[in-house]
Structures are given as structure tokens and as C-alpha cells.
Amino acid sequence: MLEKNLSPDHQHFVSIEDLLGDDHIGSGSETPIRKDAFSIGNEEKIELISRKFQDILHILGLDLQDPSIKDTPRRVAKMYVQETFAGLNPANKPSATLFDNTYKYNQMLVEKNITVQSTCEHHFVPIMGKAHVAYISSGKVIGLSKLNRIVDYYCRRPQVQERLSIQIAEELKRVLNTRDVAVIIDAEHLCVKSRGIKDQHSSTVTASYHGKFLNESTRHELMRFIDMK
């Protein structure tokens, strides 16, 4: 993974390990979900999280009788279960509609600037940016909106950007039955911008290349498409 400095005076790439040090800890490419994660339903999860978050606000010293705050625990719980972390539940995985490639289009298809809104699993603060995905058909094509939905599904869980890139690529390979897939993500991490080093001018770039995209010439073609205005 590369950390891209966007300062006007320093447009270069540096190692993210140099920027984050020991704070940046990764694990496997699968999200670490417990086997019993779905033994209770969403409503029970919302109720339990609401109680726990109420405890957090109380420990912080906030007055939970205040009209502005008293409903915050349940609002947060509903947001976590129904929105922010809905991608943890496999029942929410988008179904993929495939079509025969009847027009024999055998070049790469690129969907660029897909919105990335995820959550850093180390500090539970936002990751925000853009994803560019590409594939070369092996006989089937996918509805364009499904590419966006696949990205969104894997964003809606606690993440590290490396894993997010890999998960999207692996799902596209599985759904499209092709190895010729590429995923590039360029995102800003609020754990870097709003705490710790508080660097306001950096973004993180990750890539997951497979099949023909391992060829340098194919990657160069992809980058030309991404850079097109």
C-alpha cells in the first residue's frame, strides 16, 4: 500500500508504514467475523448496542436526560446495524445479474470514481474516497450498477483498505468467472487526518491486480482510462 502526499509542494509516494508506524496492523483477507455473529436478529443487536453505547456516553460524563442526547444510543445502534456495518451480514450481499456478451466486447470495462465510504477498524472513524474497478469479460457481463453495489457492500464493515481492495477483487472474479480483474482504491483516512499525526494532505492508494492486469501494458491502459477527464 502507498501513501500519496497531495501537498502542492510534495506530490510523491511514501510508505504508509513510515506514516502510521506501529498503528497500522493488518490481518487476513477475510473479515474476522465470529461463527455465531448472526445467532441473534437485528432488533436484538440494536437493543444491545444501544444499551452499551448508553454506558459509553454515561462514562464520558454526558447527561443522558438531555433532549438532544437521550435518543443518541438507539440512533447510533440503528446506524451501525442497518447502515454502517450492514456489509457484515451475508444476507445483504448484492445479487449479481449477468448477461451474455452477445456483442463480443473483449476489451477492458472500467467503472471509475465509485464512492468509497467505509470505517477504519482500528479507530472506528471514516475512510472516504474513490474506487476504480475493471474487468475483461470471459463471456459474461454484469449490470453496471452491480459493480457499485459490490464495492458498497464490502465498504459497509470495519475495514483496512488493503483487505477492502482484495475482497472486492475476489468477489468480482467469483461473480464474473474471470481472473482478469483490477481494483484500485484512493481514499482518505480520518484516523490519519483527525488524530495522531493529523496529516491533512495525504491519501492512501491500494491496488489488487489479477490475470491480464498483471501485465504492465494492460495496467498502463487502465491508468489512462482512469486519468481521462
- Of all helices (H) and strands (E), which one includes residue 176? helix 161-176
Is residue 137 within 8 A of residue 65, CB to CB? The reply is no
Active-site annotation holds for 107: no
Q: What 3-state class would DSSP assign to 1?
A: coil
Catalytic residue among 47, 82, 117, 122: 122
Active-site annotation holds for 155: no
Is residue 180 within 8 A of residue 212, CB to CB? The reply is yes
Tens-of-pLDDT digits for all 229 residues of the chain?
A: 454 544 333 333 333 333 344 454 556 799 999 999 999 999 999 999 999 999 999 999 999 999 999 999 999 999 999 999 999 999 999 998 899 999 999 999 999 999 999 999 999 999 999 999 999 999 999 999 999 999 999 999 999 999 999 999 999 999 999 999 999 999 999 999 999 999 999 999 999 999 999 999 999 999 999 998 7
Q: What 3-state class would DSSP assign to 159?
A: strand
Active-site annotation holds for 10: no
In this structure, how many other beta carbons lie within 10 angstroms of the beta carbon of residue 145? 11
CA distances from 174 to 20, 27, 131, 177 (A): 33, 22, 19, 5
Catalytic residue among 3, 24, 54, 120: 120
Active-site annotation holds for 216: no
Active-site annotation holds for 58: no
Active-site annotation holds for 3: no
Query: What are residue 115's DSSP bridge partners?
Result: 130
Active-site annotation holds for 121: yes
Q: What 3-state class would DSSP assign to 226?
A: helix
Q: What domains are there in the chain, each with its CATH number? A: 2-28+95-227 (3.30.1130.10), 42-88 (1.10.286.10)
